Structure 1
């Protein structure tokens, strides 16, 4: 059948399984929006307050559901406003396709009104970027974008569509979606070698990251932990893969990780790293990291092997396939002496102190967990609250903790939480945790939460300062608090009401319990401001470039 480019755009999205698209209209995408309007019964468009919010919403939708997130923006500033959201999703290996409009092909390169070379701008921060110059190429380009986004190490693909391409016509033939290209091939001899190393180890330790979630390898990883009786620690991106109640789960690793997990890295004789890229917040100092240990590194992306930490054995492959090949070769063991030593280290872990007269972060989070149970999905912004959430939430689900790990994007949370809530549906509980600094960067999406009528709960840890930066100034800059006390006068309760939401302000635990109970019963979005002390710190903490011997516990 003969269709124009805008109709082809919609038909191909639906063909690829897209049911939701986040975006913001503009002149260069008017044709696309006209087609979306005519097909609103087939694909749901979510209008956000800002294109960056739309990108984060598509990202949160993808992280929560495992589907490919889709975002659409107009040319020029609309396209460039997506850049931070694209980079955020790409570094955390989130499958997303970003569509932008552009000036007609005849005007490209002439500094036309609202023109930006978005393909070139995004090339370093995407898996691939396309500019479609002929309508005959549009459908297959979109198909390729979805396949690339979900294949191998997942990531972001950008498709730029000039306005004349969206108006031109050609023959369109519907096709079945291409299967994603999963890397099923790996070196079986190396897997056998890894099994032998694991079976011979006296003090093995497993480190796993977000790649295990992306590869749907969580069940296989749990089986490896239990079969080999191997204690395990995780990166920020893998919180929830192991239940927080799991005896062999040592918790978070790295700069703000547990003492026991960091100590185990220093003392193990075999480190098995799966689906993690050994970021600087985990390794801290590559010359000091796991010096007593042999290292096995399993990752789908060969460029990550040997990049940050040199391993004794590197296995390139999909974590799920490699783990399922490894499992039958692992002997059942108990490692009782090693586990006893770890239990002793755990008694030395940092324990936060309760308070009766003011709110503390861990008490707020404990109350959230008590009221939401194990089925909630938690989303965070970036800062102190993010680390408190990683440390104290009762993680039970592999996709239950959504946060910006690699890029550390302040302003990520609210858009991502909206996307997660829409992806999971209003019957699913989504709670967003943020700080007053991060929230000021994205609270404009309050209008989106109101217009979408979603029951999203937002808990704001308000210490009236830029807490994480201030903590560093406290520890390492002799308390010179440059630009970390913004002296803002924001009234979050009134602001929530101005958006058409409900707001509460809490100064003690009793007030918070009451407010959160009301929020749980609400059918619309709620903001709960929690006033906490500006000197609350995230502990433990290992300074950048240090190791467990430099850990700060008080």
Structure 2
């Protein structure tokens, strides 16, 4: 059948099972939006307030479901506004297809109005990028884009289409997209070697990253940890892959990880690394990281093997499949003496905060109690992000959405909207600092436009909290451009954008505010006023060993 390029785009999206799109229209993409108008029964299009919000929403949709998120933007500034969202998805291995349109083919390369080489700009931050100049290549290109986005280590793909291609016609033949099983890249010898290393270990430790979430390996991971009888720590991206209430769980590892995890990994004799890439925020000083241990790494991306940390043995493959094979060859192990040592650390070094005043950890603990852990939490980046990772107990995968690799301030609200659209029956809550909230607070207008009952918790300390923490500890309290001397009233902003607003200034107001927000059928902002000098502990200084983690008590002891 003969279809226009615009029609082909939407037909290809239907082939891929896509029914939700986040975007913002403009001149070059008008043909697609006109066709979208005609097919409004087939698609839910969420008009965001800014293209960056569309990219983050597609990201949140993808992270919370495992499906490919889709966003649309026009040429020039429309497409460049997607860049931060695309880079965020790339760093955290999020499957996304960004579809942009460019000027017509005769105008390409002539500095035409709103022309930009978005495929070139995004080359380093996408798995692949296309520019489609022939309508006959359009369908196959979109199909390839989705396959690349979701296969292997997932990531974003950009498809840029010249406007004339969206208007031209060609013959279109629909295809049925079959689910693909991950290719087996490992051998029986790999499994046998891993099992041999595990059986020889006396002090094993399991370090879980985002790959465990992406591969859907939670059940296999639980079985593996219990068979090996090993303590489990995780990264920001790995949250929820292993139940945070399980007795084997020891908390996050790294710069703001628990002392138990950091000390335990520093003393283990085998570090079993599952779907993690040894980020600098995890390892600290790479030369001293897990220096007493052999390291076994399992990852789907061969490029991550020996990139940051030299490992003793690696298996390249889908983590779920690899763990299934390893579990089948393991008998129940006994590491009770090692676990007793870890339990001593847990008892000696629990997470703690000042309970005499209103703090972010208190708010998050109360939120965890009220939701019983059955919510999707998104965050922005900074102190509140670390507190959300430390004090909310993530019991299931895809319930903690945050910008880990890129550290994108302004990520959370867009991601929150995308996750809520994908999961209408779940509570979806964004935890943001006031500095981050300023970045993309216009997306509250998106939430109110579509009556999405998301909850935006603003941890308001009137400063850039994490930067100030570093300035306090390492820059002689030189608070250069980190204090907000202004008169912004976030409650009035929220109300002006069509949302309910609640201000919290003391502990007794927290639970009533959260209960009211959780019962609301409209978006709610809770403005929580905390002290400007609250700090995230434990902490590892940049470049130090993770065994050098310190907290407030350690600082007090040094100053005495």
* Shorter-normalised TM range: over 0.9
| SS in structure 2 of the partner of residue 129 of structure 1 | strand
From 474, 477, 489, the counterpart of 2:475: 477
Match of 2:523 in 1: 525
The Cα offsets for residues 302-358 of structure 1, whole Å up to 9 and x where unpaired, read as: 0000000000001111101111111111221121111111111112224323434x3
Equivalent pair of 1:260/1:345 in contact (CA under 8 Å): yes
Equivalent pair of 2:213/2:240 in contact (CA under 8 Å): no
1:25 CA drift (Å): 0.3
1:207 CA drift (Å): 0.5
Equivalent pair of 1:151/1:181 in contact (CA under 8 Å): no
TM value normalised by structure 2: 0.97
Q: 1:88 to 1:180 in 2, by over 3 A?
A: farther
The Cα offsets for residues 272-323 of structure 1, whole Å up to 9 and x where unpaired, read as: 1010010000011110001111000111000000000000001111101111
The Cα offsets for residues 414-465 of structure 1, whole Å up to 9 and x where unpaired, read as: 000000000111x211111010010000101011000010110111100100
Equivalent pair of 2:373/2:392 in contact (CA under 8 Å): no
| SS in structure 1 of the partner of residue 298 of structure 2 | strand
Matches within 5 A, 1:143-292: 143-180=143-180, 182-292=182-292
The alignment of Structure 1 onto Structure 2 pairs a total of residues equal to: 552
1:373 CA drift (Å): 1.9
Equivalent pair of 2:8/2:139 in contact (CA under 8 Å): yes
| SS in structure 1 of the partner of residue 237 of structure 2 | helix
Equivalent pair of 1:147/1:181 in contact (CA under 8 Å): no
Q: Does 1:389 align with 2:388?
A: yes
Equivalent pair of 2:119/2:158 in contact (CA under 8 Å): yes
Matches within 5 A, 1:151-550: 151-180=151-180, 182-356=182-356, 358-425=357-424, 427-550=425-548
| SS in structure 2 of the partner of residue 387 of structure 1 | helix
The Cα offsets for residues 379-438 of structure 1, whole Å up to 9 and x where unpaired, read as: 00000000000000021111110100000000000000000000111x211111010010
Separation (CA, whole Å) in 2 of partners of 1:432 and 1:523: 16
Q: Does 1:54 align with 2:57?
A: no
Q: 1:340 to 1:285 in 2, by over 3 A?
A: same
| SS in structure 2 of the partner of residue 446 of structure 1 | helix
| SS in structure 2 of the partner of residue 273 of structure 1 | strand
| SS in structure 2 of the partner of residue 365 of structure 1 | helix
| SS in structure 2 of the partner of residue 144 of structure 1 | helix
1:550 CA drift (Å): 2.2
Separation (CA, whole Å) in 1 of partners of 2:33 and 2:10: 10
Which structure 1 residue ranges, 5 or more long, are not aligned?
Answer: none
Equivalent pair of 1:148/1:180 in contact (CA under 8 Å): no
Separation (CA, whole Å) in 2 of partners of 1:94 and 1:237: 11
| SS in structure 1 of the partner of residue 314 of structure 2 | strand
Match of 2:130 in 1: 130
| SS in structure 2 of the partner of residue 71 of structure 1 | strand
TM value normalised by structure 1: 0.98
| SS in structure 1 of the partner of residue 348 of structure 2 | coil
Equivalent pair of 2:457/2:528 in contact (CA under 8 Å): yes
| SS in structure 2 of the partner of residue 320 of structure 1 | helix
Equivalent pair of 2:283/2:546 in contact (CA under 8 Å): no
Equivalent pair of 1:147/1:180 in contact (CA under 8 Å): no
Separation (CA, whole Å) in 2 of partners of 1:32 and 1:3: 12
Separation (CA, whole Å) in 2 of partners of 1:369 and 1:195: 37
Q: Does 1:551 align with 2:552?
A: no
Equivalent pair of 1:57/1:420 in contact (CA under 8 Å): yes
1:130 CA drift (Å): 0.4
| SS in structure 2 of the partner of residue 441 of structure 1 | helix
Match of 1:104 in 2: 104
The Cα offsets for residues 200-240 of structure 1, whole Å up to 9 and x where unpaired, read as: 10000010100011111111111100111111110111111
Separation (CA, whole Å) in 1 of partners of 2:201 and 2:352: 34
Separation (CA, whole Å) in 2 of partners of 1:351 and 1:87: 32
Q: 1:475 to 1:183 in 2, by over 3 A?
A: farther
Match of 1:18 in 2: 18
Separation (CA, whole Å) in 1 of partners of 2:74 and 2:270: 51
Separation (CA, whole Å) in 1 of partners of 2:101 and 2:261: 48
Which range is displaced more, 544-553 or 245-254?
A: 544-553
Separation (CA, whole Å) in 2 of partners of 1:336 and 1:375: 31
1:182 CA drift (Å): 2.0
Separation (CA, whole Å) in 2 of partners of 1:319 and 1:243: 17
